[in-house]
Amino acid sequence: MPSRSHEIPLRLVQNQPALAPVLLREVLDYPLPEYSEVASTSEALTNCDPKEWNVDSAVVLRQGTRTVLGVAVESQGRADPDKHYSWPAYLGLLRGRLRCPVVLVVLCPDEAAARWCARPVDVGHPGFVLRPLVIGPDDLPVVAEVERARELPELAVLSARAHGSGDVRTLKALVEALDATADRNRAFYYDYVLSGLNEAARRELEGLMSVETYEWQSDFARKYVGIGREEGREEGREEGREEGRAQGVARSVIGVLEARGFTVSDQVRARIRSCTDLGVLEAWVPKAVTVQAPEDLFD
């Protein structure tokens, strides 16, 4: 089962802006200013030039009515030299718009990407060197406490994806996190974590998610896990284990598009469901988070 290594879904930060200062403080040991509010801000970093600069996600911290910090969040799955030109521009434009200090946080799905992203970017002006604040899998904290998982479900999702193959506690915490998050996110988060686990951890998580072994506090099990597991088992019997997984990922792609408010046409739906390449389907899941229209998924 190939892992989905393209992107850590920025939906985690977009859904929970409070995750950004948590990552800065607890993972990167960044000295945060005093603030009383965390909110999302526009990702469009546009100036009078026709070119539009769009950071993956942007978060702003405020102290009362005063803006005290801007956070540009990027998801990077591979080396991309173009980023050494766009990242300084993102920070400059965001700083100019917010009129406050800004930082760049880069989320990486593997350590190789994290090492590349951590390289200093020498802009050329004396002393003007951008050192991205990079978070790789090994940097993410282990979220094993129920209270912590329910308080910040998105952090528990990142933790389970990074550490779940070696630490079953993070999978148990993930179950609580899924139960505490919004209905529209649960299937997406679950599939994201599941796709990054080894086979033993996948079986462990599927067992934990079983309706028979967990007393759910919401209707998530009935709506997704219980029904989905039955469908998955039936698909596995009829079409084979691998094809059954592909159908499950295809449902997730459609679910993400619908959760973003898109109307998925019959043509797009049919094309997604007819795809049997698991790698392609897994690449479509994070892409579905950012496309401007369902049809853009296939570009």
β-strands 57-63, 52-54 pairing:
unpaired
Q: pLDDT band at residue 163, thresholds of 50, 70 and 90? A: very high
Q: Write down which residue in 106, 139, 172 finishes a domain.
A: 139
Q: What is the DSSP string of 4-60?
A: --S---THHHHH-TTHHHHIIIIIS---PPP-SEEEE---EEE-SSS-EEE-SEEEE
Q: Indicate the DSSP class of residue 225.
A: I
One domain for residues 175 and 291: yes
Question: Residue range 94-103: average pLDDT?
Answer: 94
Could you list the residue range(s) of the whole structural domain that residue 101 is in? 11-139
One domain for residues 150 and 287: yes
One domain for residues 181 and 282: yes
One domain for residues 176 and 288: yes
- Look at residues 292, 289, 282 and name the one whose alpha carbon lies nearest to residue 251: 282
pLDDT tens-place string over residues 223-247 = 444 434 444 444 444 444 556 677 7
pLDDT higher than 70, residue 75: yes
The reported pTM is 0.62
* Tokens found for residue 289: 């988070």
pLDDT higher than 60, residue 220: no
* Tokens found for residue 161: 């994806």
Whole-number pLDDT of residue 2: 40
One domain for residues 98 and 161: no
pLDDT higher than 80, residue 290: no
pLDDT higher than 80, residue 16: yes
Question: Residue range 104-112: average pLDDT?
Answer: 89
Q: pLDDT band at residue 265, thresholds of 50, 70 and 90? A: confident
Q: Report the helix count and the strand count for the chain, using DSSP H and E.
A: 14, 9
One domain for residues 206 and 268: yes
Cα distance between residue 190 and residue 174, in whole Å: 8
Report which of residues 15 and 119 the model is more confident about.
119
